[in-house]
Amino acid sequence: MRGLSVKSVADLKAARLVAPDVALDEVAERYAIGITPAVLDLIDPDDPGDPIARQFVPSADELTTTPEERADPIGDLARSPVEGIVHRYPDRVLLKAVHVCPVYCRFCFRREMVGPQGLGTLTAAQLDAAIGYIADRPEIWEVILTGGDPLVLSPRRLRDLMERLAGIQHVKIVRFHTRVPVVEPERIDDEMVAALTASGKTTYLAVHANHPRELTAAAKAGFDRMLAGGIALISQSVLLKGVNDDVETLAALMRGFVENRIRPYYLHHPDLAPGTGHFRVGIEEGQRLVQALRGRISGLCQPVYVLDIPGGYGKADIGAASITGADGCFTVQDWQGEEHEYWSE
Ligand code: SF4
């Protein structure tokens, strides 16, 4: 099985990632499965607590949902004026051209939208409308390509997209959010780097990694290629129970980013996506971990601990004082100073 991608329960069993008698068909019907060869190489199938396996190998726990979970946990649909655009803040938009990924993370906040049965790829007409929306709004300074994973697009299609953004003068920054440099590092070749920078704008790329073992030599080669090509690298990680919810792992991850010239950016509190309760840590625990990082590792290595407020109200820095409350019930302030209730176990 090594060298091939895992895409089904049968593949998982053939790769010895789940026992032959484990029933996962119902999970597989609801949520896509995807593990690339690079990720497979990182998994120790003999370690039942392997932090890489935990992120990608489905489990029956995903069938357990809690009342506060929601299909669209961060409110993308509420803030989508046209297909493929999410417009939450005045100066920036998300552009979601694809809803496919090379891997399918079991904690994914868009798990109801991504995968072969997800929202699919924008049609040519939908992409025209999305680009038109950006072009018509001079206040849009930054376009953030996310999805799905935008780097599943071929370099040719990415180049076409970047060249269209090049023609919109008020857009100054193009940012990509992607798992590809870690889970499919061979895709980060010179052609890909040229495509990512084809807009002539300033290009940022947020590398999504959650455990220091993901920062392999192959991934580093891709980071170096992107940096040499003029792409600024930042990080995004999700705080995940059983993966990185201890100070040692988080410190090694953040230091790993900095050593690879990736500026630590977001540490996300896990979103209320359906069937992901087994990944969620409590907010007080997250704050304790972030606090512990402060005293332990360089200021260069400090991420911002953020919560995406359910309903589409944007991010709040919850490492600081914008969240108050206790005993599972909190009040969190959004960027405009409005308060929202938030429940956490
Ligand atoms: S790569 Fe991102 S969008 Fe895709 S499954 Fe993972 S978290 Fe979700």
pLDDT in tens, the chain (345 residues): 557 799 999 999 999 999 988 899 999 999 999 999 999 999 998 999 999 999 999 999 999 999 999 898 888 888 999 999 999 999 999 999 999 999 999 999 899 889 888 788 899 999 999 999 999 999 999 999 998 999 999 999 999 999 999 999 999 999 999 999 999 999 999 999 999 999 999 999 999 999 999 999 999 999 999 999 999 999 999 999 999 999 999 999 999 999 999 999 999 999 999 999 999 999 999 998 998 898 799 999 999 999 999 988 989 999 866 678 888 888 887 756 678 888 876
Q: How far apart are CA 179 and CA 70, in angstroms?
A: 23
3-class DSSP state of 296 = helix
Q: Which residues 6+ apart lie within 8 Å of 108 measured at CB?
A: 114, 273
Is 329 annotated in the active site? no
Give nearest CA residue, ligand 1 atom 5. Answer: 104
Is 89 annotated in the active site? yes
Is 21 annotated in the active site? no
Ligand 1 binding pocket includes 114 (Cβ within 6 Å): yes
Q: How far apart are CA 167 and CA 189, in angstroms?
A: 25
Is 108 annotated in the active site? yes
Q: How far apart are CA 86 and CA 122, in angstroms?
A: 14
Pocket test for ligand 1, best of 110, 144, 208 (most atoms within 8 A of CB): 110
* pTM of the predicted model as reported, rounded to 2 decimal places: 0.93
Tell me which of 105, 179, 201, 342 is the catalytic residue: 105
Q: How far apart are CA 293 and CA 284, in angstroms?
A: 14
How many helices (DSSP H) and strands (DSSP E) are in the chain?
Answer: 11, 12
3-class DSSP state of 62 = helix
Is 149 annotated in the active site? no
State the Rg of the chain over Cα: 19
Ligand 1 binding pocket includes 179 (Cβ within 6 Å): yes
Backbone angles phi, psi at 208, to 5 degrees: -95, 115
Ligand 1 binding pocket includes 148 (Cβ within 6 Å): yes
Q: How far apart are CA 3 and CA 85, in angstroms?
A: 36
- Helical segments of the chain, H only: 9-14, 25-30, 37-42, 51-56, 124-135, 155-166, 180-183, 190-196, 217-228, 247-259, 283-296
Cβ of 200: how many Cβ atoms within 10 Å?
11
For residues 314 and 103, is the Cβ–Cβ distance under 8 A?
A: no
- Whose CA is closest to 181, among 211, 208, 153, 154? 208
Backbone angles phi, psi at 340, to 5 degrees: -135, 145
Q: E strands along the chain, which residues?
A: 85-89, 92-96, 142-146, 173-178, 202-208, 232-238, 263-268, 304-308, 315-317, 323-326, 329-333, 339-343
3-class DSSP state of 206 = strand
Structure tokens at 107: 């904690």
Angstrom distances, CA of residue 226 to CA of 53, 146, 192, 249, 257: 27, 18, 9, 26, 14
- pLDDT for the residue numbered 336: 62
For residues 158 and 199, is the Cβ–Cβ distance under 8 A?
A: no
3-class DSSP state of 61 = helix
Q: Which atom of ligand 1 is nearest to the CA of 110?
A: 8
Sheet of strand 202-208: strand arrangement: 85-89, 92-96, 142-146, 173-178, 202-208, 232-238, 263-268, 304-308, 315-317
